[in-house]
Amino acid sequence: MNTPRVSNPHASNPRSLPHPLGATPRPDGTLDVAVYSETADAVDVAVFEADGSERTVRLDEHTGHVFHGLVPDAGVGTRYGLRVHGPWDPSNGLRHNPANLLLDPYATAVEGEVDWSEDVFSHLHDELGTRNDADSADRMPRCVVTDRTFDWGDDTPPRTRVRDTVVYEVHVKGFTQLHPDVPEEIRGTYAGMAHPAAIAHLTDLGVTAVELLPVHQFAQDSHLLEQGLRNYWGYNSLSFLAPHGDYSSVGDGGGQVAEFKAMVKALHAAGLEVILDVVYNHTAEGNHRGPTLSFKGIDNAAYYRLVEGDEASYFDTTGTGNSLNVGHPAALQLIMDSLRYWVTEMHVDGFRFDLATTLTRQAGDAEIHSAFLTLCHQDPVLRTVKLIAEPWDTAGYQVGGFPADWSEWNGKFRDDVRDFWRGEPGTLGELAQRLTGSPDVYEGSRRSPLCSVNFITAHDGFTLHDLTAYESKHNEDNGEDGNDGESDNRSWNGGVEGETDDEAVNARRDRQRRNFLATLLLSAGVPMILGGDEIGRTQGGNNNAYCQDDEISWFDWAAVDHELLTFTRDLLTLRRENAALRAPDFRGSEGPDSVQMLRADGVGMNDDDWSDTNARSLAVRLAAQDSATFLLLLNASEGPVEFTVPEGAWTLALSSDPEQEVGADVQTLLVAGKSVTLLKC
């Protein structure tokens, strides 16, 4: 579907306009630039010529709080930055310094990286209150004016129903960097992600959406570069409208925009949605000791929450040094403009909001009726796409606290399912809640199971392989003496840590991985698979590989666990083809759409059964109209459990135990310890 064309108000107007913000090329060879700042005295556009020389043009018009003007002899391909004049008074939140070359918050492409030195700081390192007058231009990346035209052809968003959605969380680079069937020159790029070999893996697997780790332009961390490491995950945003240039096979001179669009077009053609993991809660500029790269030097108090009474300091609920000021119209407008841009111009299908709770904190406390959530709800563009919250930040946990048209990463699902399969006492009742879509979290507010994005593993933590192979984290390569990452992996691995040649231990681990995948993909809600879990991807026990842009994080396509891959494909096929395995609503125990919880002896569960802290087994009967009926048998005990099977012509649909057999007219079935079996009738 082609993006509707809107007439360009700049085309016939001889004067600059205050909107849209950013740099807009005009047919007459000039660039219309508009920058928001309540506190600046003047704004210059610094244009960098092909020979590297700089010319500056003052934005000579001022409408409201927007500085705007025309830049002659500039258009698509122009490299530029901003220099903002105004008061330097950090104690009152003012950090203007024209010596700092700044990125335009509305730039659609960024060329180059920050070259870390004291020059990119508006203050002196040893005198935080003293302005640093060193020019930062030679140390800063450039904004690039891009050609926003693109032949979308017949591109049509898949618009997959939420009840049919299966999310695959994946890193653009890591997915294809070592893929043998992707041409070497495009591995690790948007073009690599769009290659038929990459897409074939996704479609053959049966997922419906890729959730890409951050692709907004982000900055490398100076302390990582000093250690020979790099920010791999990308949760260090620098520009909210620009696709990250390092993931482009054609370089970062503007061509990354068209390459990203081509990737989206190819994924759509294969029926796959594209969801972006977006980081609007903070930026790469950090706290009062951090650099001045963009927002700080343009309008510090408009874009960041400052500590009341101590405006030199930053209010931080992200653990990164700063938080966006979502209580200010300018910051909110930037976020909303960015979201709409990625939908209308880049054709993405949804967003997963990192530390989304921070975006609801207008005045400190999280608010379900915050301006950000209200704007998303009423926006005609955003209400048509998928919105997923990471419902927590460093100041609070808000699972179940987002509006009904949002989905949420359900951390309770992860924790309770892990606890059940590792044999923790008293977890059977919690497991039942997770299997049925977490009604204890969502039903009270009349939300459906589809609000729950279920997951066992995610980028932040162990892979599925490592969850069942390591009792403790092994993050030595991160250079933090193993102090980073969560300490408790809530796993079970058979008593032997790391790789082993013990066949019995490996068999138990294989079964446990299948248990986790089966529980995930047979539960009500929206399942999310961590990319690579289906092939047994390992990070060698590193559960915080944010800085490992190497073989630790990249997919090892030469070491695919083909049996696990087949098991995952079979699970997804069963889920896709049988409505009973993807319930959109909480269901009762009677009727054509129902779920029944049974003891191993076939009797319905009662209050005493649920309160039995030693209970480790459960049978779940799942039925739906126009679907086969299923019996899910879960046994987290160390030894086998005999289940009574209801009357019916039951056959084996799937089992984590390769030795499981089901005879004709089965009445009882022995299910091995630490295994799950699914029967079909």
Which pLDDT tens digit goes with each residue over 407-442?
999 999 999 999 999 999 999 999 999 999 999 999
pLDDT confidence band for 4 (50 / 70 / 90)? very low
Half-sphere exposure of 442 (CA within 13 A, CB side): 29
Q: Considering the domain boundaries, does residue 551 fall inside one?
A: no
pLDDT for residue 369: 79
* 3-class SS shares of the chain: helix, strand, coil, % to 5: 25, 20, 50
pLDDT for residue 492: 65
pLDDT confidence band for 29 (50 / 70 / 90)? very high
Q: Which residues contact 679 (CB under 8 A, 6 or more apart)?
A: 630, 631, 632, 633, 645, 650, 651, 652, 653, 662, 666, 669
pLDDT confidence band for 8 (50 / 70 / 90)? low
Q: In terms of pTM, does the model score above 0.85?
A: yes
**pLDDT exceeds cutoff 80 at 495:** no
Catalytic choice (337, 354, 533, 561):
354
pLDDT for residue 392: 87
CATH number of the domain where residue 61 is located: 2.60.40.10
Question: Is the four-CA dihedral 150, 155, 159, 164 of positive or negative sign?
Answer: negative
pLDDT confidence band for 14 (50 / 70 / 90)? confident
Catalytic choice (44, 111, 316, 390):
390
For residues 498 and 521, the model is more confident at 521
Q: Considering the domain boundaries, does residue 643 fall inside one?
A: no
pLDDT for residue 141: 98
Q: Considering the domain boundaries, does residue 114 fall inside one?
A: yes
**pLDDT exceeds cutoff 70 at 326:** yes
pLDDT for residue 11: 57
Neighbours of 2 (CB within 10 A): 12
Average predicted confidence (pLDDT) for the chain: 95
Rounded to an integer, what distance in angstroms lies between the CA atom of residue 467 and that of residue 455? 13
Instruction: Report strand pairing: 526-530 vs 594-598.
Output: unpaired
Q: Considering the domain boundaries, does residue 158 fall inside one?
A: no
Q: Considering the domain boundaries, does residue 118 fall inside one?
A: yes
Residue 21 and residue 65 in contact, taking contact as beta carbons nearer than 8 Å: no
Q: Considering the domain boundaries, does residue 120 fall inside one?
A: yes
Which pLDDT tens digit goes with each residue over 182-193?
999 999 999 999
Q: Considering the domain boundaries, does residue 65 fall inside one?
A: yes
* 49: annotated active-site residue: no
Q: How far is CA 599 from the centre of its chain?
A: 38
Rounded to an integer, what distance in angstroms lies between the CA atom of residue 317 and that of residue 315? 7
Q: Considering the domain boundaries, does residue 133 fall inside one?
A: yes
Residues constituting the chain: 681
Domain residues for 80? 22-144
Rounded to an integer, what distance in angstroms lies between the CA atom of residue 416 and that of residue 396? 19
Q: Which of 476, 496, 472 is nearest to 486 (CA)?
A: 472
Rounded to an integer, what distance in angstroms lies between the CA atom of residue 477 and that of residue 294? 32
Share of the chain above pLDDT 70, in %: 97
**pLDDT exceeds cutoff 60 at 9:** no
* 390: annotated active-site residue: yes
Rounded to an integer, what distance in angstroms lies between the CA atom of residue 283 and that of residue 280? 7
**pLDDT exceeds cutoff 70 at 3:** no
Which pLDDT tens digit goes with each residue over 505-514?
999 999 999 9
pLDDT for residue 591: 79
pLDDT for residue 501: 87
Share of the chain above pLDDT 90, in %: 90
**pLDDT exceeds cutoff 90 at 633:** yes
**Domain tally for the chain?**
1
Which pLDDT tens digit goes with each residue over 582-608?
988 888 877 788 999 999 999 999 999
Instruction: Report strand pairing: 88-89 vs 127-131.
Output: unpaired
Residue 100 and residue 248 in contact, taking contact as beta carbons nearer than 8 Å: no
